[in-house]
Amino acid sequence: MAESAQTPAGGTDACMSTALRKEYLAALGLESWVVRTPASAAPQVASAPAVAAVPVASAAPRPVALKGGAADAEPAGAEREAAYDWTQLRERVAACTRCGLSATRTQTVFGVGNLTAEWMVVGEAPGAEEDLLGEPFVGRAGQLLNSMLRAIGLKREQVYIANMLKCRPPHNRDPLASETAECSPYLERQIALVKPKLMLVVGRIAAQRLLQTDAPLGRLRQQVHAFGASRVPLVVTYHPAYLLRDPLNKAKAWEDLKFAREVSARG
C-alpha cells in the first residue's frame, strides 16, 4: 500500500518491454495498437489544454467540485469530516446512515490503495461484488481496470481507488442526487488526504456528478478539468464495466489513458 507512484509520472512507452506491453494491451483487446507508433497519438496530446487551464469551448462543463469545492460553500456535513484522519473517516463511513442505502447494503466500500498516491481513480458506486467484499473495483471490471492501469505503467497498489458512493444502490441503479450529496463529503475528505496529482474519473455518472454537468461523456473526454479548491487535474474515461459491455470503445479508453499519462507527466 505504501509503494511509490513515481514510476509513471514521466513515463513513456519505453518504460516496459514490448512483450509486456503487448500482454497488457491484449488484456484490453487492443493487440493491433501495439504496432502504432507514439507519434500517431501525438497530435491529440499536443493539442490538449494545459493542466492548470479549464477548457473554454462552449460545450465544456463548469469545472467545479461537489459540495465543499471552490465554487460552493462548504456544508455542515463536509465540515464534520474536514479534520478526520484515515482511521476516523473509515469508521464514520462504516457507521453511516445518512441515506436509505444504509438499509440495503451488505457493508460500506471505503476505498483501497496507496494513501499518498499521485493518481486517484474515482468511480460511481459499488456493485454487487464490491458490496460483498468491501473493496472497490473487484471482479471482471476490477481486472480490466488493473489491466488498463498496467498498460500505462501503473500497478493497482500505486493508485488510490474510491467511488463517489460508499454503498451499493439496489440493482445497480444510478445514484440519486440526494445520495451523492450525502456521500460527497467522504470522497472530498479522501481526496484531501491523498492529495493526488491527477484524478482519473471513470464513467458518465461519476464524471457528470463531480463536474456538475449534464454533458455527455464523449464531450468530457480528452480534456483537463479542474476539481475542487486545489484544482486537481481531472481526466475522464469510460467505466471498465461499460467497456466489458461495449469492447469497441476500448480503443478510445486507451487514448484517454495515454492522455492522462501525458497530463500527469506535464504536472
In a domain, 121, yes or no: yes
User: pLDDT band at 67, cuts 50/70/90?
Assistant: very low
Query: Which range has the worst mean pLDDT, 37-41, 170-174, 217-221?
Result: 37-41
Assign residue 124 the CATH number of its domain: 3.40.470.10
Mean pLDDT across 74-95: 82
Distances (CA, A) of 205 to 24, 54, 74, 176: 27, 20, 22, 10
Cell of 244: 466489458
Task: Give the position of cell 499519462.
Answer: 261
Question: Cα–Cα distance between 95 and 239 in angstroms, integer?
Answer: 28
- Whether residue 143 lies inside any domain: the answer is yes
The rounded distance, in Å, linking the Cα atoms of 95 and 89 is 10
Pairing of strands 119-123, 225-227: unpaired
Q: Nearest-CA neighbor of 7 among 86, 111, 114, 141?
A: 114
In this structure, is residue 14 part of a structural domain? no
Q: Is residue 17 part of a domain?
A: no
pLDDT tens for 144-178 read 999 999 999 999 999 999 999 999 999 999 999 99
Across the chain, how many H-helices and E-strands are there? Answer: 11, 6
For residue 6, tell me if it sits in a domain. Answer: no
- Please check the confidence at residue 4 and state whether its pLDDT lies above 60: no
Encode pLDDT of 5-38 as tens digits: 344 444 444 445 666 666 667 767 665 444 343 4
Assess contact for 121 and 161: CB atoms under 8 A. yes
43 in a structural domain: no
- CA–CA dist 80, 209 (Å, integer): 21
User: What mean pLDDT do residues 206-221 have?
Assistant: 96
* Rounded CA separation 27/148 (Å): 8
Q: Does residue 9 lie within any of the structural domains?
A: no
117 assigned to some structural domain = yes
> Which residue range is the domain that position 154 belongs to?
57-266
C-alpha distances in angstroms, 4 versus 40, 113, 152, 213?
A: 30, 11, 15, 33
Which residues on adjacent β-strands are paired with residue 113? 160
What is the rounded distance in angstroms from the CA atom of residue 221 to the CA atom of residue 253?
A: 9
Rounded distance between C-alpha atoms, residue 15 and residue 209, angstroms: 35
Check if the beta carbon of residue 110 is closer than 8 Å to that of residue 90: yes
Q: In the 8-state DSSP scheme, what is residue 110?
A: -
Q: How many domains would you assign to the chain?
A: 1
Average pLDDT over the chain reads 81
Cell of 257: 489513458
Nearest in space to 145 (alpha carbons), one of 243, 225, 233, 3: 243
- pLDDT of res. 40: 39
3-class state of residue 206 by DSSP: helix
pLDDT of residue 69: 39
